[in-house]
Amino acid sequence: MKRFIRVALAAGLMASAGSAIAQVKIGALYPFSGGLALLGDESFRGLELAIEERNAAGGLKGQQMQIVKGDAVDPNQAVGEARRLTSVEKVPVVFGTYSSSLSIAATQVAELAGVPYFELGAISDPITERGFKNVYRSNPTAKDFANRMIDAIGEAIAPALGADVKALKVAIVHEDSLYGQTVTGYQVARAKEKGITIVETLPYSAKSVDLTPVILRLKSAGVDVVLQTSYQNDTVLFFRQMKEQGLKLKAIMGAGGGYSLRDTMTAIGAANMEGALNLDFTQYKTNAKAAPGIDAFVAKYKAKYGTEPRSGHSLANYMGAKVFFDAMAAAKDYSGPAIREAVMKVDIPAGTTPTGWGAKFNEQGQNTRVAPFIMQWQGGELVTVFPAEAAVTKMKTGVGTN
Amino acid sequence: MDVFVQLILNGIMLGSMYAIIAVGLTLIFGIVRVVNFAHGEFLMIGMYAVYLLSKHFGLHPYVSAVPVIVLLFVVGALVQRFIIQKLLNADEHIQIFATVGLSTALINLALIVFGADLYSVESPAVRQSIAMGPFTVLVGHLVIFACAIALVAGLHTFMQTTPLGRAIRATAQNRNAAMLMGVRVERIYIISFGLGAACVGLASALIMPIYPVSPTIGTYFVLTAFVVVVLGGMRSMVGAFFGAMIIGIVDSLSGYYIAPDLKEVVYFAIFLAILIFKPTGLFGFGRGTE
């Protein structure tokens, strides 16, 4: 019995000594409960997979990474949890956050504490436009999406239609909350730069139960191409009423929101959604040549969680986490200035990561090598169609059955 | 000109939808004298019920109208019996808080049970558009229009000709006098609240093929329904019907000719103007003229 206790004590001591020496805490701030929990958790899974992969390969500087979760249900709690992570748990770095409003709140805390904050999924531009020294973002912003939508008219849609981009009648339709207004603002500015004429800009309330006035306006103006920024309910209503009112478009493009979700397609019907273009984080029906490692990611994901990935959020978080782990490994320590120096040295060409994005950070900490791919609903599947190297199939023209 | 006629048509169709919802709200407000803020959530319950019946038993939404109307009648009666009844003599604010609380609770309950996802039923025949010359109308909308007229006419006849209808009108006019005349007021309230909710049951079966259901679907319709009720003179079902038509048409026209995001501004401006200049509503007959 005495011997057993001695052995047990020795084993316990070894175990605790081992963990004290070779562990580094990693803060993970996401909405794990509440209304944003589904995609918050999906985002976290990407980080979790990246950490497991790194730990299996020896960890960071020989230390195993240990996740400390913070549950950010709303901006207030994001602040509280960010404080707990940085001052009580004393994590050297924080990863997050999925939602922009949560990220804006939490990054302020991290900045004041001088703790590096790696944003892997929130798209609101101001997150990296406030002159912070410790905030870095690997994913594209709302402005990147808006610019890409406008550019796509000239680079992808006009060639597919065999039309002159200047001759196309383009309209912007958007829900009228901050989200829709922000994206539309960027789109209008970009269109002016590119010399594309926007014939109609039509805002509407996302709670609207009738969008026929919008559709009749588009019909009267003889619009060819519509760019829509929308949530889910209004996307469904728009497509249904577009069919009912016989609006015939040459192309329609959304950016995430309602356009990416399978439920939206089911509610609208595959035939009526056919041809709808969508700009979003990289999804899984993408050519692996432009996104090396995407298949391996899906395999790992399925092995761990037993399902297909629920959205592209996990992939975007996985890609960003890996980029920042490399930067952390290259930094001389985890202090703010050392991390900054290492992140600024990151130089990964586009087309070499599982999302297809590269990584090169500007002074504000924003990744500038992010070009979201264009996807299209074809036969009830969201497939990548542009650019050519990422495409799995050719882009179609026309929308729905009208 | 074509567009104008199409807009008017769309407005009438939209108005019929508001009419069915607003008639139920008018019943509850006119008789029980309670502003039911949970009305939209009754619609949500009804729509989920239609969805479940269609998914598990393959019922067409129009067929499921029958069980869903009964279900909503029971829900309404229970709400009246166990929540509103207890607050009948309480302050109006308390009643409002009770229905607002009920509304929030129901939305969150739906979030827990069904999640934030959209559910819809497949009924392509209902979503078929009929071409009338250059104009198009949806089959489902025509059905709603017919049902709205039938509902208003039916309820009006019921109120005017049956003994129960008379008792309901008596209760609405003067609760105490009706009680003295031997009307069992509490029972009348339960029936009226049930009827009001049952109207929403009908609405949910008719709307479900056209709109997908989500926990917040009620909030999309109910604010407009309140405007309609006030426009219609608060207690008149026929008033509510025409009020709904006006709102539908204003909604449709202002969305096209002014701006889609300003249409709420237009009809809320009308709403305020009526409250200021004609507080009894466009078809208001004054208090106690039910």
Selecting from B115, B118, B217 the residue whose C-beta is nearest the C-beta of A267 gives B118
Q: How far apart are CA A337 and CA A343, in angstroms?
A: 10
Binary contact (B252, A205; C-beta < 8 A): no
Binary contact (A202, B260; C-beta < 8 A): yes
Q: Do A2-140+292-345 and A143-280+373-386 show the same overall fold?
A: yes
Binary contact (A233, B212; C-beta < 8 A): yes
Residue A13, C-beta contacts closer than 8 angstroms, at least 6 positions apart: none
What rounded mean pLDDT belongs to chain A? 91
Q: Phi and psi for A379 in degrees, rounded to 5?
A: 55, 35
Widest Cα–Cα separation across chain B: 60
Higher pLDDT, A256 or A274: A274
Q: What is the CA radius of gyration of chain B?
A: 19
What rounded mean pLDDT belongs to chain B? 89
Residue A4 in this model has a pLDDT that exceeds 70: no
Binary contact (B252, A236; C-beta < 8 A): no
**Which band of pLDDT confidence, cut at 50, 70 and 90, is reported for residue A15?**
very low
Binary contact (A267, B120; C-beta < 8 A): yes
User: How near does any CA of chain B get to the CA of A155, in Å?
Assistant: 30
Residue B219 touches chain A, beta carbons under 8 Å: yes
Binary contact (A236, B120; C-beta < 8 A): yes
Q: Which of A73, A209, A240, A262 to mutate to test the interface with B (most CBs of B within 10 A)?
A: A209
Superfamily of segment(s) A2-140+292-345: Response regulator (3.40.50.2300)
Binary contact (B6, A216; C-beta < 8 A): yes
Selecting from A212, A244, A264 the residue whose C-beta is nearest the C-beta of B252 gives A212
pLDDT tens digits, one per residue of A47-79 = 999 999 999 999 999 999 999 999 998 999 999
pLDDT tens digits, one per residue of B71-123 = 999 999 999 999 998 888 888 888 889 999 999 999 989 988 987 778 888 88
C-alpha closest to that of A291 among A255, A321, A316: A316
Binary contact (B260, A213; C-beta < 8 A): yes
In chain A, domain spans: 2-140+292-345, 143-280+373-386
Nearest chain A alpha carbon to B115: A35
CATH number, domain A143-280+373-386: 3.40.50.2300
A279-303 mean pLDDT: 93
Nearest chain B alpha carbon to A39: B116
Burial class (CB in 10 A: 0-12, 13-18, 19+), A238: buried
Domains and CATH numbers, chain B: 2-277 (1.10.3470)
Computed from CA positions of residues B12, B14, B17, B19, in that sequence, does the dihedral angle turn out positive or negative? negative
User: How near does any CA of chain B get to the CA of A140, in Å?
Assistant: 26
A261-272 mean pLDDT: 88
User: How near does any CA of chain A get to the CA of B69, in Å?
Assistant: 23
Residue B165 in this model has a pLDDT that exceeds 80: yes
**pLDDT over 90 for what percent of chain A?**
77
